[in-house]
């Protein structure tokens, strides 16, 4: 693999704990390359790393570019990117990143992204309904958020989002901390209770009441942590993603994914090029992004991650092709959030969350 050293500032921005995690997983690499351009790409962990890293290594070898990888979650990596730009706008932590819809909207609001160059020809394959009007990045796949559960605790799958608050599971429910509202189910509960992502009050009330009576075991900070707690039965129910749960199910874990009667939440994911990158880094990021968005590579990514392609010519793996929860129309006809509105409400909602939910746990 063709890996390059990150800048000293980049390492400092990661923090000691994250560095240990990156070193342990053996993905965020350090090495040498023959080219003059050094590019840093952020990708997600586990099966979600396989295709981006393979394509990155192939691109690096073919074009003499040095590529470093940062592996992690949006919840931990996006704030570090923001901090790096605040320290030095001309030296961002990374140049090309795989971000979810909430991080994308937050970055758009903060002027973090560059317009994708016209040289990324495969963006023409992105389905029209999922193209980003500003051109600041592109969505590649769609995941579905529903309920992840321990199958030993649920002989039949949970049927409703509101079971997160059922006292029967007191102390056995978990979720993500603020401001990761795109992950922790709050916008969905607000919708169900008659609010929306611009006013979380009704949903927040449900979380606050649950926190006061000890419904939650705590917050999770990673998918790996969630998996371990579900397997052990420490947690039996949580908001979660079909693509994440599928690999655990395939591995034989006592874990299931349920489509609630109120519907799943649509969760688009894709790539952005970061403002402050050099001309050479932008060119390399564009070239790599073009390869990643090739329909064959999108198909491979979807097969590895149990996600739904948003690129024309890319296909679902055969084992998912006939399953209703993997049909794009099923996901997008359920719960779709206005991500810009959610981001605008996030700061105030985080304050309320910390006061009314987190402080009660």
pLDDT, tens only, 137-160? 999 999 999 999 999 999 999 999
CB atoms closer than 10 angstroms to residue 228: 14
User: DSSP readout, 83-125?
Assistant: HHHHH-TTS-S-SEEEEEHHHHHHHHHTT-BPPPPTT-GGGGG
CA distances from 223 to 183, 227, 228, 244 (A): 11, 6, 9, 8
User: Would you call the peptide bond into 179 cis, given omega within 30 degrees of 0 as the criterion?
Assistant: yes
> Rounded to two decimals, what is the model's pTM?
0.86
Residue-wise pLDDT tens digits, 234-266: 999 999 999 999 999 999 999 999 999 999 999
List the domains of the chain with CATH numbers.
8-142+267-332 (3.40.190.10), 144-265+337-360 (3.40.190.10)
pLDDT, residue 32, reads: 32
Task: Report residues of the chain scoring pLDDT below 70.
Answer: 1-35
Phi and psi at 325, nearest 5°, equal -70, -10
Q: How far is CA 182 from CA 231, 240, 341, 342, in A?
A: 24, 10, 12, 8
Q: Is the dihedral of CA 62, 68, 72, 78 positive or negative?
A: negative
Burial of 306 (0-12, 13-18, 19+ CB in 10 A): buried
233-242 as b/e, with b when 16 or more CB fall inside 10 Å? Answer: eebbbbbbbb
Task: Determine the pLDDT at residue 36.
Answer: 84
Structure confidence at residue 74 (pLDDT): 92
Q: Give me the pLDDT at residue 35, please.
A: 57
**Helix (H), strand (E) counts: the chain:** 14, 10
Angle between helices 242-250 and 223-232 (to 10 degrees): 50
**pLDDT computed for residue 255 by the predictor:** 98
In 3D space, the residue among 162, 178, 194 whose CA is nearest the CA of residue 102 turns out to be 178
Burial classification of residue 35, based on how many CB atoms lie within 10 Å of its CB (0-12 exposed, 13-18 middle, 19 or more buried): middle
């Amino acid at each position: 693999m063709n890996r390059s050293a990150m800048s000293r500032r980049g390492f400092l921005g990661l923090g000691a704990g994250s560095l240990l995690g990156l070193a342990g997983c053996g993905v965020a690499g350090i090495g040498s390359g023959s080219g003059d351009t050094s590019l840093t790409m952020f990708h997600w962990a586990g099966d979600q790393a396989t295709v981006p890293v393979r394509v990155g290594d192939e691109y690096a070898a073919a074009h003499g570019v040095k590529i470093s990888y940062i592996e992690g979650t949006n919840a931990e990596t996006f704030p570090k990117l923001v901090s790096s730009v605040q320290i030095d706008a001309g030296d961002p932590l990374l140049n090309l990143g795989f971000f979810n819809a909430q991080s994308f909207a937050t970055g758009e609001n903060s002027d973090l992204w560059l317009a994708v160059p016209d040289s990324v020809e495969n963006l023409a394959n992105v389905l029209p309904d999922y193209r980003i009007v500003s051109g600041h990045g592109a969505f590649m796949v769609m995941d579905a958020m529903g309920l992840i559960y321990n199958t030993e605790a649920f002989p039949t799958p949970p049927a409703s989002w509101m079971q997160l608050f059922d006292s029967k599971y007191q102390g056995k429910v978990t979720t993500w901390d603020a401001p990761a509202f795109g992950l922790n189910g709050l916008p969905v509960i607000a919708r169900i209770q008659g609010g929306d992502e611009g006013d979380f009050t009704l949903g927040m009330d449900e979380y606050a009441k649950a926190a006061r009576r000890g419904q939650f075991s705590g917050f999770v900070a990673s998918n790996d942590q969630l998996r371990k707690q579900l397997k052990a039965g420490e947690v039996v129910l949580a908001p979660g993603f079909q693509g994440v749960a599928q690999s655990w199910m395939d591995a034989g874990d006592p874990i299931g994914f349920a489509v609630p009667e109120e519907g799943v939440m649509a969760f688009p994911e894709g790539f952005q090029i970061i403002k402050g990158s050099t001309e050479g880094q932008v060119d390399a990021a564009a070239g790599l992004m073009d390869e990643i968005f090739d329909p064959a590579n999108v198909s491979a990514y979807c097969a590895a991650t149990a996600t739904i392609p948003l690129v024309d010519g890319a296909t679902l793996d055969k084992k998912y092709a006939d399953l209703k929860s993997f049909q794009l129309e099923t996901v997008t006809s359920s719960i779709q959030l206005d991500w810009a509105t959610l981001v605008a409400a996030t700061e105030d909602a985080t304050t309320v969350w910390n006061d009314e939910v987190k402080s009660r746990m």
